[in-house]
Structure formats: C-alpha cells, structure tokens
Amino acid sequence: MHRGVARLVLLAIGVFAALLAFGGVSHAAGPSITAVVTDADKAPIPGVGVSVTSADGFSGTGTTDDEGMATIPVPASGKYTVTIDEATIPDGQAVKDGPERTVNVLTGDKKVLFPVGVGDSDGGGGGSGGDSGGSSITLSRVLQLVVDGVILSLLIALAALGLNLIFGTTGLTNFAHGELLTLGAFTTLVLNAPPIGLNILIAAPLGVIVSALAWGWGQNQLIWRPLRRRQTGLIAAMIVTIGMAIAIRYTLLLFFGGSPRSYEQFAGQPGVEIGPVFITPKSMVLSALAVAILAATVLWLRSSRIGKATRAVSDNPALASASGVNVERVIAVVWTLGAGLAAFAGVFLGMTQNVIWTMGQYLLLVLFASVVLGGLGTIGGAIVGAFVVGITVQLSTLIVPTELKTAAALALMILLLLIRPQGLLGRAERVG
C-alpha cells in the first residue's frame, strides 16, 4: 500500500514538474467574463466594445480581439450585466436577442455569446454561453442544431469509447476520465504555445501520443496495476479516481489560470455555408478524422488479436487468463487507447471552442450518460449513446435555455433506463 501511495506522489510531482518546465507558472485567475461576438457566418468580429456592470457598482470595459473575444475580470462571483456597444458593430447589422445579457458568474470564466446578423440565433455548439434558448423554431435552425449535434456526438464518442473500454476490462468507474480529455488539450497547448511553438498540425498528434503514453499507460503502471495486485475494491478505486480528478483539475488551474486559451493556429475561422447550415473548415476536418479514428478503433477491436483478447477480458477476465490471455497487457493497451481517444477529444474541443481547466468536468456527466444509454462495456454502445446524447443536447436548446441543455440528456438517460435498464445495445442479465 505504501508503494502505491509513493507512486501516486511521484506521479503528482512529475505532473507539477512538467507544467513548471513547459507550461510556465501563472497564478490562478479570479472569475471573469468573456464576451464572444460573431457574425452570421460564425466569423469573429473584432473591435466591438463590451462593458460589464453589477448592482454593487462594479464597472469594466473591453474590446473584442481578432478572435471576436473580450475577457473582463470581475472582482467576485455574482450576477453581472454584459452589454456590447451597438455603435461598434458593422453597419446594417443588429445583435440577435438584444445587446444585453445578465449572467451569473461562479468560478473561472463565463462565456457569453453575442451573435450578430439578421434572423434567429443558431444556438449551435460552438461554445457555452449565457444566452438562452426559446427563439422561434425554423427549419434552418433545426438543421443547424442537428449538424452541431453530430459534431458534438463525434467528440463525445471519442472519449466515451475509451471510458467504456476501461470499464469493460477493469470494472472501474473512472471519474477522472474527463481530466484525460483536459490533459490532452493542455498537453497540446504546451507544445503549441511559446516557448516550444510547434504548429498545431504537429503539436496535436504529438500531444495525443504523449497523453496516451503518459496519462494512459503511465497512469496504469504507476497507480492502477499496483492497486489491482493488492486487490483494492472497486468502490475504493472509484474514490481514488474522484480524488485524482479534483487534484488534476486544480493543478491545471494553479499553473495555467482560469481564463480560456486558444491554440495559435486556426483559432478563428469563418463558417462555410452548406445549404441552410454553417460549419467551419476545422470542424469538418476534425469530424472526418473522428469518424476515421472511431471506425479504425472498432475494426481493430473486432479483428485484431489484441482486440479479440480485449473482448475476452471484458466478458470474463478469469476465463481469459486461464485461456492464456495476458490480462495485464490487455488492460495496459486499453488504458493507453482510452487516454489517446480522450486526448484527441480534448484537442477537438479545444480547437472548436477553447482550452480551459474545467472542460473535462463539464463533459463528464455527458460521457457517463452516453455509456449508460448505449450499454455498459459494449463496443458500439458508447458510439450509439454518444449520438443520441449529442443530438438531444443540441436540439433541446429549441425549448430550454442553453445552460440547461445537458439536463435533457440526463433526463433521457433516466427515462431509457426505466424502460431498458441494460441500455440500447447492452444484454439483459439475470441477477439472483
């Protein structure tokens, strides 16, 4: 047990050292508000004046940069009114849903969307904001939300598949899996930003590989393999994952701060009009890569020798071991693969939105909903569940505020489990 604790401490020291060496130290930032101003093509609008006020007399101002964002620090959590100066937006255009938003800031950065143009706000999946749903329902808006839902589904599927594989082979409910996504995004950010300064086309695949080896294989070797040898119970192991999630999250906050960051390349792109919907070129490329990676992973699990061994371990570890399968080797491969898939999902999310210390935390419940909906431990269950959840989350903004869209996925999960407890692709098991 003492060796396991020592390994955990060494891993934490290694994470701190890596962040100090490559990420640079920046003290944790207080709460802030980021206004995001985009046109009808989802292209950023620079030079727009933004003001933030509160009932207790606070006042702050800012101007949107080349990415259409203006971040204004606020003194404490609470309610603030965010207003953009309509005189600074392009002539002949108007702010959808009005130039003023009232938001409740808790910790970190609160992003507020100000779509500019003519017509209804698309409410799409380009970020999380303080604007609410409830605009008129039109065919173009529904189609836009479906497209955004498919993109979100692919992102969720990448991380959920790894989570499902780890659960299937080890029985571990990993509450730190969202942090694997965050670590992948920040590892790529460190490689992309100065002083290293690699182009994102090089930094992204390198960041995924480093994350798969360090945060997947390394984590299994240092923590989970020793705990399995000591026959640590699944409940105790689950509590360890909760502690790890909190530790990783606040370590990133300590060294990188709470403000959102973006990669050096492809941060702001105008949308491409395809019929009634808009989509950025980077979203199309990332989505195509996600489809290819998901298809390759499923094919590998079904056809390769190690993939068949993984399914055997998932079905019955003891029988697989008795049949000559190296269970520990299979689990190490699964941890490496799961961390790599989560890292790519983190890069995907960081390129389409921003990199922030809470990005994995916000997606964690959605990941669990996808896995449970599709069927725990099944290969295709996580992917099917991800598409159900992703499209439901986006379409729910037609009738509920954006802040509540995740609740729609969780409500759907509860309803489905009442009807089909084993999930969509899971097998019913007899208990007793």
The CATH number for 56's domain is 2.60.40.10
| CA 335/CA 320 separation, integer angstroms | 18
Q: Are residues 68 and 199 in the same domain?
A: no
pLDDT at 131: 42
Q: Would 6 be classed as within a structural domain?
A: no
Which sign, positive or negative, has the C-alpha torsion 207, 170, 13, 183?
A: positive
Q: Are residues 80 and 174 in the same domain?
A: no
Q: Are residues 50 and 174 in the same domain?
A: no
Domain end, chosen from 119, 134, 160, is at 119
Q: Are residues 167 and 36 in the same domain?
A: no
Q: Are residues 49 and 160 in the same domain?
A: no
Mean pLDDT of the chain: 82
Q: What is the pTM of this model?
A: 0.72
Q: Are residues 226 and 361 in the same domain?
A: yes
Select the more confidently predicted residue: 39 or 367: 367
φ, ψ for residue 305 (rounded to 5)?
-65, -45
Cis bond leading into 281, ω under 30°? no
Q: Are residues 320 and 404 in the same domain?
A: yes
Q: Would 362 be classed as within a structural domain?
A: yes
Q: Would 400 be classed as within a structural domain?
A: yes
CATH number at residue 294: 1.10.3470
Domain end, chosen from 62, 85, 119, is at 119
Place of tokens 């799409």: 124
Cis bond leading into 195, ω under 30°? yes
Number of domains in the chain: 2
pLDDT at 66: 78
Q: Are residues 318 and 197 in the same domain?
A: yes
Q: Are residues 241 and 332 in the same domain?
A: yes
Q: Would 21 be classed as within a structural domain?
A: no
The range of the structural domain enclosing residue 104 comes to 32-119
Convert the pLDDT of each residue in 104-141 to its tens digit: 877 667 788 888 875 443 333 333 334 444 446 778 88
Convert the pLDDT of each residue in 319-375 to its tens digit: 888 888 889 999 999 999 999 999 999 999 998 888 889 899 888 988 988 888 887
Question: Per DSSP, what are the bridge partners of residue 303?
Answer: none
φ, ψ for residue 277 (rounded to 5)?
-120, 160
Q: How confident is the model at residue 26 (pLDDT cuts 50, 70, 90)?
A: very low
pLDDT at 428: 58
Those residues with Cβ within 8 angstroms of residue 145's Cβ, 6 or more apart along the chain or in another chain = 122, 123, 124, 394, 395, 397, 398
Which sign, positive or negative, has the C-alpha torsion 420, 423, 425, 427?
A: negative
Q: Are residues 234 and 311 in the same domain?
A: yes
Convert the pLDDT of each residue in 203-246 to its tens digit: 999 999 999 999 999 999 999 999 999 988 999 999 999 999 99
Q: Would 11 be classed as within a structural domain?
A: no
Q: Would 136 be classed as within a structural domain?
A: no
Q: Count CB atoms within 10 A of the CB of residue 112.
A: 24
Separation of CA 129 from chain center: 15
Q: How confident is the model at residue 182 (pLDDT cuts 50, 70, 90)?
A: very high
Q: Are residues 221 and 336 in the same domain?
A: yes
Say if residue 403's pLDDT is above 50. yes
Q: Would 23 be classed as within a structural domain?
A: no
Q: Would 319 be classed as within a structural domain?
A: yes
Q: Are residues 151 and 286 in the same domain?
A: yes
